Amino acid sequence: MVYLNKKLLTVLIFALLIVVSSKKTYAVTATVTTTSPITISPHEFTIDVSVSGASSGTNYLKIDLFKSGTTNYFGDTYNGADWYNGTDGLTYFPITIQSGIWSGQVKGRINDADLAQLDQLGQYKLRIRRYTGSGNYNASEANNSVVDINIIFPTPTTTPSTAPSATIVPTPALADELPQEPTPTSQQSAINNIYISEVMVYPNTGEKEWVELYNNNNHQVTLNDWYLDDLEDAGSTPKKFSLTLVGKSYGVYYLPSNIFNNDRDSVRLLDFGRAVKDSFEYLQGEKNLSWGRASLDSDIFCLQEPSPNTANLNCRQPIATPAPTATKTPTPTKIPLITSYSMRSLNPPFSSPPKKFTIGMAQLPPNPYPSPQSPQDTEGEVLSMSDNPQTKKDKRKLLKSLQITSSSYSLLAILSLIVKIKQTLA
């Protein structure tokens, strides 16, 4: 009997252990800390969220809205640059978990398409879906974060209508008093001294590119609808973002999708009007190393260990900026000087080869001790270069006598020919 009681007790203890161990526990919790029930407006709302027990790193949060008893989730989540409600978990709101905890605010809204499909406003549910760096989420963890919400339309402010009369019709003179659309230009145009401090262009697989900015002002600034882009007109769409930076501090924006090349590319910071506020160009990225500004008072960037939201670390190597292409000065073409020339007669060639003469580049002074000219010195000359008047006169006489002699020979030849013809005829 005692033996049976011990056996029965053992079975009961074993069954109790099974029941206790079958109760599901979750190491990670995502909690909506805003007091429930939450009353929200369809167009935009903000909730407080805390995460505990998660591994350090980057996670992504998505807001799910649904009606009790259904799984028709709707609603958009603001990811820091745009509203999103797609299938890519890594495009939702990024958070950086340190020491297993994170707390902050997440923005949501109901877009017009979802609002048109709601059968009524009133009681609904809200939950937080946490995606890990691998793009996965735990449905049970998300269901444990469910809270009640009440969706209402804000009560519009109405102005009692009055019968139209000529006294209240706006006239051109009162046009300046009509309500004007708010323009952020004048408010944001004064935001300067915002610099690119560090950029992760080649992250590890599954991680996001990010850009660290530094506010060099003594006051806090909010960058509304600014942009990050690579090379101008390179094909990537500029990524719009909004970020608040405390004075003299850093801020990091995680891009929803990668746009920078691992090899040569440019990083450009554009304001709300897409004017370039800061930029730099790199030649080659290295995996899990960031390009960081060497110092805040220079435009030199270098590869370094990543240090988001903190001061940059020491450079791994100097930045290799593209050197300007030197303009090569063309070498002037050397024109050879003519030092000799062959004079060839246009008449039937002589039996002897043509004579050469040299064109001197400078006139030499006369020889103070001239040697007597011999007959051999003038042999072979075509023309004399002397300017002596007597020599010119003698040459003219010689040419004249040659012409007379030539004419005489020609006349004698003609007379001889006539005589021969007469003799033949006789």
The CA distance from 206 to 208, in Å, is: 7
Is residue 177 included in any domain, yes or no?
no
Distance set, CA 242 to CA 200, 251, 255, 311 (Å): 19, 11, 12, 22
Quick check: is 112 in a domain? Answer: yes
Q: Which two tokens stand for residue 114?
A: 């979802």
199 and 299 co-located in one domain: yes
Q: What is the pLDDT of residue 405?
A: 78
Q: Are residues 111 and 202 in the same domain?
A: no
Give pLDDT, residue 245: 94
In a domain, 17, yes or no: no
- Are 128 and 33 in a shared domain? yes
Residue 269 sits in a domain of what CATH number? Answer: 2.60.40.1260
Residue pair 248/218 in contact by the 8 Å Cβ criterion:
yes
- Could you tell me if 37 and 124 lie in one domain? yes
Q: pLDDT tens, 127-174?
A: 999 999 999 999 999 999 999 998 887 655 444 544 454 444 454 444
Last residue of a domain, one of 276, 304, 332: 304
pLDDT in tens, 104-126: 999 999 988 787 777 677 789 99
**Cα–Cα dist 32/61, whole Å:** 12
pLDDT for res 340: 36
> 250, 285, 304: which is the final residue of a domain?
304
pLDDT of the residue at 318:
56
The pLDDT, as a whole number, for residue 5 is 65
Neighbours of 138 (CB within 10 A): 16
For residues 287 and 220, membership in a common domain is answered with yes
Claim to verify: residue 127 and residue 197 sit in the same structural domain: no
Q: Are residues 134 and 33 in the same domain?
A: yes
Distance from C-alpha of 209 to C-alpha of 201, rounded to nearest angstrom: 6
Domain end: 270, 304, 338, which one?
A: 304
Q: Are both 210 and 281 inside the same structural domain?
A: yes
Chain centroid to CA 364: how far?
A: 70
**One pLDDT digit (tens) per residue for the chain, 426 residues:** 444 566 676 767 766 665 445 444 447 999 999 886 788 887 789 999 999 999 999 999 999 999 888 888 999 999 999 999 999 999 999 999 999 899 999 999 998 878 777 767 778 999 999 999 999 999 999 999 999 998 887 655 444 544 454 444 454 444 444 444 444 444 445 699 999 999 999 999 989 999 999 999 999 999 999 999 998 877 678 999 999 999 999 999 999 999 999 888 999 999 998 999 999 899 888 999 999 998 878 889 999 999 999 999 889 875 545 455 555 555 444 444 333 333 333 334 434 444 443 434 444 445 454 444 444 444 444 344 444 566 666 767 777 777 787 777 778 888 888 877 877 776
pLDDT, position 338: 36
Place of tokens 């011999």: 374
Query: What domain range includes position 300?
Result: 190-304
CATH number of the domain within which 73 lies: 2.60.40
Query: Is the same domain home to 65 and 133?
Result: yes
Specify whether 36 is located in the same domain as 119. yes
Residues 111 and 56 in one domain: yes
* Total tally of structural domains belonging to the chain: 2
Six token digits for residue 81: 């640059």
